[in-house]
Amino acid sequence: MKIPFTYMIKNFKVRSVSTLITIAGSALVIFVFAAVLMLAHGVKQTLVSTGSPDNVVVVRQGANGEISSIVDGDTQNVVSALPYIAKSADGSPIISYQPVVIINLTTPDGGLNNVTVRGVSPDILALHPDVSIVQGRMFNPLLDEVVVGSSVARRYPDARLGGSIKLGTSSYRVVGVFDDHGSGFDSEIWSDTHQIQREFHRGNYVSSITLKLDNHSDYHTFKSAFSRDKRLSEFEAKPEEEYFAEQSENLATFIRILGIFVTVIFSIGAAIGAMITMYAEVANRTVEIGTLRALGFSRRSILIVFLVEAVLISLSGGFIGMILASLLQLVSITTLNYTSFSDLTFSFVLSPSIIVSSIVFAVIMGFFGGGLPAARAARLNIVNALRAG
């Protein structure tokens, strides 16, 4: 079966204006589609990167997040005595008891945003060795001091080095800025566990416990020991990476659903635009189609060439849209994390699966946009088409 692909390629040059307009429409749709997926993937990667493979998080069963979890002092003692927990140089378990609260900070334009404050134990940097103090120093647990994540320091004037943040009834001086390479911790404020408990009247209660295992392969044996202890029946232990991945699902799902809904509306418009363009092409090329049929090209050949043309136009737009979307990786945005009800700063992240999904979406859009016009071209009667000239 002969297919007049050379004829199709020449038409890209002859009808360049209409082709470019259709490509631009397709590029816009794919840009939006890819941006939405990159946004959702960025949220998930930011929170997943917050976790460490050797760490385990203990929270109350059924808690939607650390804000709604309560771990009492007796439970903290039981957890710290479990086996397979890594030890520091002095022989104490590497563990952090973490009360988590939300405070308001003032933005440069005068607005108020929620920010997470995490009480941490002295072993916090042993639990998260990737965290580094990039300005100033670590807080002194005996003083009213805090360190802030790099995203918080950039976003809020009061949270910059040397600034003052009100926690409870006291003002805490910002003595350091830390960075965790874009993880969720960069959107938090840290101070000493006991200071946070005192300021927010938490007694000896914390929101979560994070501990380091001797080796990440010890997780299942640790989990078995945890599950056998009936005093821990109301609590659950999860790998830190898994815990924070679950925390990202609500926000990532919301972004995907809302974004894909908008994308579908855009794609319908783009497909209709492609369909109108291809119908116009068929009308303008009636004589040419009749000539091709007279030269021996079958209806199927005509159908395929017009369908391939529509798909190639859509794919061209898809590649342009992907290139533009990839530039979004240079952008960081802040939004409300619906699990913690606090600000979360993250970046757009492009992955191979997003590239594949976007290209497939472009092909589908081109197929539906060119299907009906291609079928019309294939059904043209040879004699009537030649007479149209």
Angle between helices 240-284 and 16-48 (to 10 degrees): 170
pLDDT digits (tens, 9 = 90+) for 246-258: 776 776 677 777 7
- Specify the DSSP class assigned to residue 139: P
Backbone angle region of 2, left / alpha / beta, with phi > 0 → left and psi within -120 to 50 → alpha = beta
pLDDT digits (tens, 9 = 90+) for 21-68: 778 888 888 888 888 888 888 877 776 667 788 999 999 998 888 888
- State the pLDDT at residue 138: 95
Query: Does the pLDDT at position 374 exceed 70?
Result: no
Percent of the chain with pLDDT over 90: 41
- State the pLDDT at residue 45: 76
Q: How many CB atoms lie within 10 A of CB 36?
A: 22
User: How many CA atoms lie within 13 Å of 164's alpha carbon, on the beta-carbon side?
Assistant: 6
For the chain, give every domain's residue range. 5-48+247-387, 62-233
pLDDT digits (tens, 9 = 90+) for 74-133: 999 999 999 999 998 888 899 999 999 999 999 888 888 899 999 999 889 889 999 999
Question: 128 vs 94, 139, 188, 372, CA distance in Å?
Answer: 11, 16, 14, 58
- State the pLDDT at residue 383: 52
Query: Does the pLDDT at position 348 exceed 60?
Result: yes
- State the pLDDT at residue 287: 62
Backbone angle region of 182, left / alpha / beta, with phi > 0 → left and psi within -120 to 50 → alpha = left
More confident residue, 188 or 293: 188
Q: How many CB atoms lie within 10 A of CB 83?
A: 12
CA-based nearest residue to 311, from 286, 354, 278? 278
pLDDT tier at 1 (50, 70, 90 boundaries)? very low
Q: Is the pTM of this model over 0.95?
A: no
Q: Please, are residues 239 and 51 in contact by the beta-carbon 8 Å criterion?
A: yes
Query: Does the pLDDT at position 231 exceed 80?
Result: yes
pLDDT digits (tens, 9 = 90+) for 301-343: 777 777 787 788 888 888 999 999 999 888 877 776 656 656 6
Please work out, in degrees rounded to the nearest 5, the angle formed at the alpha carbon of residue 313 by the alpha carbons of 309 and 319: 140
**Euclidean distance between CA atoms 124 and 118, whole angstroms:** 11
